[in-house]
Amino acid sequence: MRAFATATIALMLAAPVVGNDTMAQLGTGGLVFVTNDQIKMASEDLYISPTEVRVTYEFENTSEEDQHILVAFPMPDIQGSGDFMVDVPIQNANYGSADPIDDPDNLFGFATTFNGVPVEAELHQYVFNNNIDYTKLLKNLGVPLEPFGEATSDALAKLDADDIQNLTRLGLVFSYEFDGGNGTEVDVVPIWTLRSTYSWEATFKPGISDVVHTYRPSVGGTVATTFIPKEGDDYAQERYDEYVKKYCVEDNLVSAVRKQGITQDGWTNYPYYENWISYIWSTGNNWSGSIGKFTLTVDKGSTDNFVSFCGEGVKKIGPTTFQMTATDWWPPYDRELEILLLKKVDAE
């Protein structure tokens, strides 16, 4: 069964724009570790909203001895680019400027507790291009590893011409000239990939242990509704087909959005913009056996919003919340959880 929520709206939007107004999201997921046949995931309670991901686990050590485990939380790769913007939760929507970063080493505000006690996880970060590790090179140059942010831009701007040429040759940066009103200036754009993983060691005693971790999701999106099919428009049909496959969009969602369409100067516009949230749940297959009890709760944030995602037996449990439950559940190997959120455009 597919999940779908309805709302009523009557507003006007400017002509649809995708292109540079499209923001990519970063998929994040759950805890992983080297397979241990003695530990089973008794339950997983997953809550996802545009502002928070919260996962509550119960793990069962089925043996009679303590199990000492190295647990890892892999963050999504962050790819530098001058062509598009990747949504990092603390980052400003304008490329080249960023809000103050309280913790540049924890872009998603990742936090974990183990049996109610906060975990001090160790952060491992590496810089790659073409699968070659350039972490040491950037550190020796005094350049932060995170490819976005003011500190990285400032550090690159201070490098001499030889260092910039070397970084360019290695495919880590590119440069371009522009005139901002003060004559010709040069901007150096990082294009390397940052790979980050948090790790911590835990002792699972016989019986049940609980782990809770929270973080802010990376939410991608557009400034318009882009997937409504249009007769004679092959691109619109292809995008609709993609959304049906990825988000399990149903005809009743399309009909509800179409009812709110405003046609002006040959354009039909809809008073919603898209948000996308990805959650990598296939890592749940790393534990011993199936997940005893799995609960997924998706919160669309406002009663005026729409939400669509793929799930079996999804039910509405509140004004903005939808839930699916399963027992002895295996996360799909061939698809991650993808959520489409249509957010109402506020009236001016």
pLDDT tens-digit map of 160-200: 999 999 999 999 998 877 766 777 777 889 999 888 888 88
Q: 28-29 and 32-33 as β-strands: parallel, antiparallel, unpaired?
A: unpaired
- pLDDT per residue as tens digits for the range 214-237: 888 777 777 788 888 888 788 889
What single letter denotes the amino acid at residue 156?
Answer: L
Mean pLDDT is highest, among 194-203, 246-255, 288-297, 316-325, for 316-325
Between CA 60 and CA 84 the distance in angstroms is 43
pLDDT for position 99: 32
Phi, psi of 255, deg, nearest 5: -65, -40
Band of pLDDT at residue 16, cut at 50, 70 and 90: very low
Q: 193-204 and 78-79 as β-strands: parallel, antiparallel, unpaired?
A: antiparallel
Q: Which stretch of DSSP H or E encloses residue 237?
A: helix 234-247
When mean pLDDT is compared across 23-32, 125-134, 141-150, 177-186, the lowest value belongs to 23-32
pLDDT for position 149: 78
Please identify which residue in the block is written with the tokens 């009679």: 64
Mean pLDDT of 305-319: 94
pLDDT for position 75: 72
Q: Percent of the chain having pLDDT more than 90?
A: 39
Single pTM value for the model: 0.74
What rounded mean pLDDT belongs to the chain? 79
Between CA 175 and CA 178 the distance in angstroms is 10
Please identify which residue in the block is written with the tokens 């069962």: 60
Between CA 72 and CA 22 the distance in angstroms is 31
More confident call, 14 vs 341 = 341
Distances (CA, A) of 106 to 75, 83, 119, 140, 166: 10, 24, 14, 22, 29
Which 8-state DSSP code applies to residue 89? T
Residues 270 and 261 sit within 8 Å (Cβ to Cβ)? yes
Strand residues in 132-192 grouped as ranges (E):
132-133, 173-179, 184-190
On the question of pLDDT at 13 being above 70, the answer is no
- pLDDT per residue as tens digits for the range 259-309: 888 888 778 888 898 888 888 787 666 666 788 999 999 999 999 999 999
User: Residue 62 contacts by C-beta under 8 Å, 6 or more apart in sequence?
Assistant: 38, 39, 40, 206, 288
Tell me the two tokens of residue 245. Answer: 């496959």
- pLDDT per residue as tens digits for the range 67-120: 988 887 777 677 777 554 455 554 433 322 233 335 666 767 788 899 999 998
pLDDT for position 84: 45
Cα 78 to chain centroid distance, Å, stands at 11
On the question of pLDDT at 33 being above 90, the answer is no
- ∠ CA 156-128-286, nearest 5°, is 135
On the question of pLDDT at 5 being above 70, the answer is no
pLDDT for position 214: 87
